[in-house]
């Protein structure tokens, strides 16, 4: 699997993480997905209602509204973004929730080191997803 994202989208996510630090930033990723690739076409920044440095939560109303709007635009939810105040790898809590989001890609930014990585739960195992950054 490849996650395709453009440079301005990554800049938006990095800026949101910087503004929220030390709280985890979070966002919803919308676009299109096949068996081979997921293409980010829209990002919806979502407030972290937990206001936590180690966990994130998105209000159900925010999630429902963003999904409904994306559906009207012909987009599907392809993943979730959040920042970590540590390495860009899924935490134990992330791994639990990844199981509920089936094919969703989890894009994680280390707000301390700046690295970014993506993961997808496949047959009960979190596997790293390649990220391809495109100019746009």
Report the topology of domain 2-134.
Answer: Cytidine Deaminase; domain 2 (3.40.140)
Per residue of the chain (136 residues), give pLDDT as tens: 999 999 999 999 999 999 999 999 999 999 999 999 999 999 999 999 999 988 999 999 999 999 999 999 999 999 999 999 888 999 988 898 898 887 899 999 998 888 999 999 998 899 999 999 998 6
Read off the pTM: 0.94
- What is the C-alpha separation between 132 and 125, in angstroms, rounded? 22
The residue extents of the domains of the chain are 2-134
Question: In the prediction, which pLDDT does 78 show?
Answer: 97
Q: What is the pLDDT of residue 100?
A: 86
3-state secondary structure 103-118: CCEEEEEECCCCCEEE
Catalytic residue positions, numbered:
24
Residue 97 main-chain phi, psi, to 5 deg: -75, -25
What number of other Cβ atoms are within 10 A of residue 88's Cβ? 19
């Amino acid at each position: 699997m490849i996650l395709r994202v453009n440079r301005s989208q990554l800049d938006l996510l990095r800026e949101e993480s910087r503004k929220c630090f030390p709280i985890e930033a979070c966002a919803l990723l919308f676009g299109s997905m096949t068996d081979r690739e997921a293409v980010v076409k829209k990002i919806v920044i979502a407030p972290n209602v937990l206001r936590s440095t180690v966990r994130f939560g998105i209000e159900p109303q925010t999630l429902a509204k963003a999904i409904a709007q994306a559906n009207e635009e012909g987009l599907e939810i392809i993943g979730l973004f959040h920042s970590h105040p540590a390495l860009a790898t899924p935490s134990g809590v992330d791994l639990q929730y990844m199981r509920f989001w089936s094919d969703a890609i989890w894009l994680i930014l280390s707000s301390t080191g700046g690295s970014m990585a993506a993961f997808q739960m496949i047959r009960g195992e979190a596997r790293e997803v390649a990220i391809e950054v495109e100019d746009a």
